[in-house]
Amino acid sequence: MQNFHRVAITGIGVVTSLGIDKDEFFNNLLLGKSGIDLISSFDTRDFAVRIGGEILDFDPSLYLPKKEIQRMDRFCQFGVIASMFAYNDAKIKLTDKEKEDFGIIIGSGIGGVSTFEKEYRLLIERGPSKIGPFFITKMIGNMASGQAAIFLGAKGYTSDPVTACASGTNAIGDAFKLIKYGNEKFMIAGGAEAAVTPLALSGFAAMKALSRRNDTPKRASRPFDRDRDGFVLGEGAGVLFLEEYEHALSRGAHIYAEIVGFGASCDAYHITLPDPEAKGASKCMLKAIKEANIDPTDIDYINAHGTSTSANDVTETKAIKKVFGKHSYELVINSTKSMIGHLLGAAGGVETAVTALSIEKGFVHPTINLDNPDPECDLDYVQGGPRKINIEYALSNSFGFGGHNFSILLKKV
């Protein structure tokens, strides 16, 4: 019989529009602050959408050598710096031998899109000889995990799942399994994205996926609200340091929460729309609950995918009702995207970090801008302000284009 290993979260690193210190970030969430505003990094006068969750005054030179910064796309900088934060937060110094069993999985939905845009302009305007030597290595999505592995010396399983908006949760689930089954002892996992760019913004706007509340940007992201009109594009990174639970105990590590379940499924329905019957979304939650060997009624809190789009919010609500029945109305549910927008491949990493912090601190943040709840979204989404709650078990959901569904289940220590 296989001996399974328990998995502890002992480090958290975030880079967001509401702060790059995990405690500052979480406190701003509890206060209901919005990190969404008019985009300032490029001229949006000709754009239908002019708002986003940008990280302002971000200075990578505070954390990385200038020579290395030039070799990284913005998403990669986010991912590497968040990984360093998580490693330092874990207060661990791995030996060379231990680093052989140390891996990094950082998902990204789009990767180095700003580099792609810049280099393509050079090609068109000045010719092929002007393309930079680091174009390819800055653009490809695996470089956040690859560069973080170089900086931290991680020589174990290192990868980059690309499952659109579910990439970060996909990464954490994969890392959880690697430790659980004894393949690795230490993992950094999460997501990184920097897609608040002209091309990406235009593409999502062309799909009619984005909110067009340009006059009131801080009120634009409104998950589960009757008047929602699309998501708001955000950027950032969220990663966790994971280690074998007994090892964490033996060194006296601070444990935020334990990962006890992971569920994955595919709708196999449509490239962008969720299955309206919510079969896939409910299935991944049930799988996570089954792996944890608990009853659905044991769950206290769900950090929802909650995008502020017409289809997602109704479908996710329906999925929760399928899984939890009457208990759905006792669950506490919120959407972090209401304050920082949708970070695409980084969303699940940041939101799992929020779930762990909520368990540890005993507070959940509000879903802001929920003024007129959609009649089809009739659960408790934490309106008005933060709420004190004892959380024993919590789920974090992520659903991505292509029908990818992932749920992570955390337990209070």
User: Which residues fall within 8 angstroms of residue 183, CB to CB, at 6 or more apart?
Assistant: 157
Catalytic residue at 377?
A: no
User: Which residues fall within 8 angstroms of residue 127, CB to CB, at 6 or more apart?
Assistant: none
Catalytic residue at 270?
A: no
First to last CA, the chain: 26
Eight-class DSSP state of 244: E
User: Which residues fall within 8 angstroms of residue 397, CB to CB, at 6 or more apart?
Assistant: 169, 281, 284, 285, 302, 303, 304, 305, 316, 405, 406, 407
Q: How many CB atoms lie within 10 A of CB 307?
A: 26
Selecting among 5, 76, 284, 342, the annotated active-site residue is: 342
Selecting among 247, 305, 365, 404, the annotated active-site residue is: 305
Selecting among 165, 247, 365, 377, the annotated active-site residue is: 165
Q: Which helix (H) or strand (E) holds 387?
A: strand 387-388
Catalytic residue at 247?
A: no
Radius of gyration of the chain from its Cα atoms, rounded to whole angstroms: 20
- Residue type at 396? S
Eight-class DSSP state of 114: H
Which is nearest to 152 in space by CA: 177, 181, 187? 187
Q: Is 408 exposed, middle or buried (0-12, 13-18, 19+ CB in 10 A)?
A: buried
B/e letters for 85-116, b = 16+ CB within 10 Å, e = fewer, are: bbbebbebebeeebbebbbbbbbbbbbbbbbb
Residues with active-site annotation: 165, 305, 342
